[in-house]
Amino acid sequence: MKTIDNDIKTGQFKQIYLLYGEEQYLIRQYRDKLKHALAADDDTMNFSAFSGSDINQKEIIDLAETLPFFADRRLILIEDSGLFKKSAEELADYMSFIPETTYFVFAEKEIDKKTKMYKQVKKSGSIVEFPRQNETTLSRWIEGRIRRNGKNITRDAYALFIRKTGDDMENIDKELEKLLCYTLEKDYIDISDVEAITTEQTENKIFDMIDAVALHQQKKALDLYYELIALKEPPMRILYMLTRQYRSLYFVKALMNQGYGKKEIASKAGLHPFVVGKSMVQCKRFRMGQLRQSMEEGAGLEQAVKTGTLSENLAVELFIVKQSEKR
């Protein structure tokens, strides 16, 4: 991130930028920063954007070879293309021969560092990863935003806010904007403000549902499920997220059993340390065999829905009821 900020500040740009990682909010922020720095906002002649996996590599190369029209640069933005996960020989070879007036910005969720495309961009341009931000960084960012708006937040209110929003910066940004508007006339944000206006993220309800299941609180688990349905969450997405959480707990518990701490588990599992901390507490309520069985039963119910044996709603209800039984 500092590399891009410095390039913009000095006006000394690389001809290729690859932005990738889990934190899509930051990728979009820096994508837009580069776009504004490299092309005028109203310059439709010299700015082209492409998205999706069906990109024609020859078309991109032909465009890149075209001189800019009454401007110093031509900017080509390519997003979610999958070019860094598959063979893209033609475009990869071209990365070493880009005209000095052409600039590329790639924004991708996932990449494979073994691909030729990645290696060529690393050699000829700048690659910046945007991982999930840690608790300290998120705290500084949130509290900085609040202070810039002339407010402060109580410790309890902050703790509840981050519990409700999770660690996704885009979700935090949206909820923070709501909270700041709601407390427009106040200097201090307290817990009642957060309770009144901040929406709880789906993942948190999933987490609470599994907690209820572990404690055999069947009614509470089903109530949480019906709350998610009322929020228009599709039943199969809920089942997928439940199964995914059991899989995550299985992995975390296995690493705990090997003696790893929170930091090492976060690194190995590719999870945020905040999430790992919660998972370490939660997975203590389960045996490894239980977690494995829950994963298998979830996968079995997904298959039953696909084959038409069960309805989506019934499959999720059966899963919750079965998991919350004492065994």
166 vs 46, residue with greater confidence = 46
Which two tokens mark 306?
A: 């696909």
The second-level CATH assignment, the architecture, of 202-323 is Up-down Bundle (1.20)
pLDDT of 1 over the 80 cut: no
**In the predicted model, what is the mean pLDDT of residues 187-209?**
86
**Where residue 276 falls among pLDDT bands split at 50, 70, 90?**
confident
Give every CB contact of residue 191 below 8 A, 6+ residues apart in sequence. 154, 156, 157, 160
Homologous superfamily of the 2-129 domain (CATH):
P-loop containing nucleotide triphosphate hydrolases (3.40.50.300)
Predicted pLDDT of residue 166: 81
pLDDT in tens, 144-173: 999 999 999 999 999 999 888 888 898 899
Helix (H) or strand (E) holding 16: strand 16-20
Predicted pLDDT of residue 327: 60
**Where residue 326 falls among pLDDT bands split at 50, 70, 90?**
low
Which part of the chain is CATH 1.20.272.10?
202-323
Residue 216 DSSP code: T
The answer to whether domain 135-191 has CATH 1.10.8 is yes
Rounded distance between C-alpha atoms, residue 264 and residue 274, angstroms: 13
Predicted pLDDT of residue 325: 81
pLDDT in tens, 279-298: 898 888 889 999 999 999 99
Which two tokens mark 245?
A: 């959480």
Rounded distance between C-alpha atoms, residue 299 and residue 303, angstroms: 6
Which part of the chain is CATH 3.40.50.300?
2-129
Backbone angles phi, psi at 126, to 5 degrees: -130, 130
CA distances from 3 to 108, 139, 216, 296 (A): 18, 23, 51, 45
Predicted pLDDT of residue 60: 95
Residue 46 DSSP code: S
**Where residue 274 falls among pLDDT bands split at 50, 70, 90?**
low
pLDDT of 231 over the 80 cut: no
Which part of the chain is CATH 1.10.8?
135-191
**Where residue 200 falls among pLDDT bands split at 50, 70, 90?**
confident
Which two tokens mark 323?
A: 């998991």
Residue 78 DSSP code: E
